[in-house]
Amino acid sequence: MKRHVLIDTAPLPHGGALGLYEDGDDLVIRIEGGPGAPLMSTRMHGSEDALGRIPCERLAGRSKARVLVGGLGMGFTLRAALDPLRADARVVVAELVPGVVAWNEGVLGERAGWPLRDPRTEVRVVDVAKVLKAEPLGYDAILLDVDNGPDGLTQQRNDWLYTRAGLDVAHQALRPGGLLTIWSAGADDRFAVRMRKAGFAVEDVKVFAHGNRGTRHTLWIGTKQAGRGPRATR
């Protein structure tokens, strides 16, 4: 019989908690007392890998590339982002839940190849929105895997990131031609339109959650367009 054992819990800053479970040979993160489906699993992370890999492969030859990852999760996006980048790159990870960082320093670390031990990684236990607001023109790529995409599950406060105001701030935080890539559990044509209005050329990319068939998730990849954005005249 498959084992399902609670390993640890991590309180969320504004109420509730996340639980880390052993689920047979896999580890899963769930919302304690919430919906039954896991938020994340070490068995299914293909779309999280794609979130890190696709934009950072485009930066592979860039000197001193600077990348912001919003949401550490199980570390798979961070690992995939680091792999294509040069040795002089810097990847800042903004994670709001200290317990998630601790899990990645411990029991989760080996599953993703210990990305927090990479010297190019800088972890900040802070809301990614604060990082975006504080560093205009700071990044070549911003990768957001916060909550469940535009239709969040754990923290309603995260919704701001996906509003026009949040997208405008992300646009300002990117260098010319920079990439904003957003993970979502599902498609949303209205959100793609919102990204375009904020000054991004948008690609809607479908990626498999695991392997090459079954459940698909959505990545929106927005390229910052010259002369457009929150300060441009329309």
State the burial class of residue 223 (Cβ atoms within 10 Å of its Cβ: 0-12, 13-18, 19+).
middle
231 located within any domain:
no
Tens of pLDDT, residue by residue over 44-76, are 999 999 999 999 999 999 999 999 999 999 999
Q: How far apart (Å, rounded) are the C-alpha atoms in residues 27 and 195? A: 34
Structural domain boundaries, residue 220 = 42-224
- 208: domain CATH number is 3.40.50.150
- 228 falls in which pLDDT band (50, 70, 90)? low
29 located within any domain:
no
CA neighbours within 13 Å on the CB side: how many for 80? 20
> Structural domain tally of the chain?
1
Going by C-alpha positions, the residue among 6, 8, 42, 7 that lies closest to residue 25 is: 42
Strand order in the sheet with 66-70: 121-124, 90-94, 66-70, 139-144, 174-184, 216-224, 200-208
- 229 falls in which pLDDT band (50, 70, 90)? low
- 160 falls in which pLDDT band (50, 70, 90)? confident
11 located within any domain:
no
27 located within any domain:
no
Out of 107-111, 147-151, 194-198, 204-208, pick the least confident: 147-151
- Enter the pTM of the model: 0.91
- 38 falls in which pLDDT band (50, 70, 90)? confident
Strand extents, DSSP E, 13-171:
17-23, 26-31, 40-41, 66-70, 90-94, 121-124, 139-144, 147-150
Residue 234 has pLDDT above 60, yes or no: no
Would you mind telling me the total number of residues written for the chain in this entry? 234
Q: How far apart (Å, rounded) are the C-alpha atoms in residues 94 and 25? A: 28
Residue 94 · residue 129 · CB < 8 Å: no
233 located within any domain:
no
- 188 falls in which pLDDT band (50, 70, 90)? confident
192 located within any domain:
yes
| Mean pLDDT, range 203-232, rounded to an integer | 83
82 located within any domain:
yes
| Mean pLDDT, range 114-129, rounded to an integer | 97
Q: Which residues contact 110 (CB under 8 A, 6 or more apart)?
A: none
Sole residue written with tokens 């029991």:
107
32 located within any domain:
no
